[in-house]
Amino acid sequence: MPGRILVSLLLLLAACAPRGEITVAPEAARLRHVERIYVASNRTPEGSRQEGVSFGRVDVSVPPERRPGTITYPRKGARPDPQRDFLVSEYARFARPEDFQADLRRAVAARPPGDRDVVLFVHGYNNTFAEGLYRFAQIERDLSLPGVPLHFSWPSRGQPLAYAADRDSVLYSRDGLERSIEIATEAGGGRAILVAHSMGALLLMESLRQMAIAGERRTLDRIGAVVLLSPDIDVGVFRTQVRAIGRLPQPFVIFTSGRDRALNLSALISAEPVRLGSLTDAGPVADLPVMLVDVGAFSTGDGHFNVATSPALLRILAQAQELNSVFSEDVGGGVGPLTRAALHAERAAQIVISPAF
C-alpha separations of 80 from 37, 45, 184 in Å:
21, 21, 33
Q: What pLDDT, on a 0 to 100 scale, did the predictor assign at position 339?
A: 45
User: How many CB atoms are located within 10 Å of the residue 102 CB?
Assistant: 13
Sites in the chain below the pLDDT cut of 70: 1-18, 189-190, 319-348, 356-357
Q: Phi then psi for 186, rounded to 5 degrees?
A: -90, 0
Q: What pLDDT, on a 0 to 100 scale, did the predictor assign at position 59?
A: 97
pTM summary value: 0.88
Please give the Cα distance from 252 to 258 (Å, whole number): 20
Q: What pLDDT, on a 0 to 100 scale, did the predictor assign at position 345?
A: 45
β-pairing verdict for 49-61 and 87-94: antiparallel
Q: What pLDDT, on a 0 to 100 scale, did the predictor assign at position 18?
A: 63
Q: What pLDDT, on a 0 to 100 scale, did the predictor assign at position 269?
A: 86
- Starting at the edge strand found earlier in the chain, the sheet holding 291-294 runs 87-94, 49-61, 34-43, 148-153, 118-122, 192-197, 223-229, 252-256, 291-294, 349-352
Q: What pLDDT, on a 0 to 100 scale, did the predictor assign at position 16?
A: 47
Sign of CA dihedral 314, 315, 318, 324: negative
Amino acid type, 240: T
Q: What pLDDT, on a 0 to 100 scale, did the predictor assign at position 20?
A: 79
Of 240, 241, 162, 256, whose CA–CA distance to 204 is shortest?
A: 241
Q: What pLDDT, on a 0 to 100 scale, did the predictor assign at position 17?
A: 57
Of 53, 63, 13, 10, whose CA–CA distance to 33 is shortest?
A: 63
Q: What pLDDT, on a 0 to 100 scale, did the predictor assign at position 347?
A: 59
Assign 171 to helix, strand or coil: helix
DSSP string, 310-354: -HHHHHHHHH-HHHHGGG-S--SSS--HHHHHHHT-SS-EEEE--
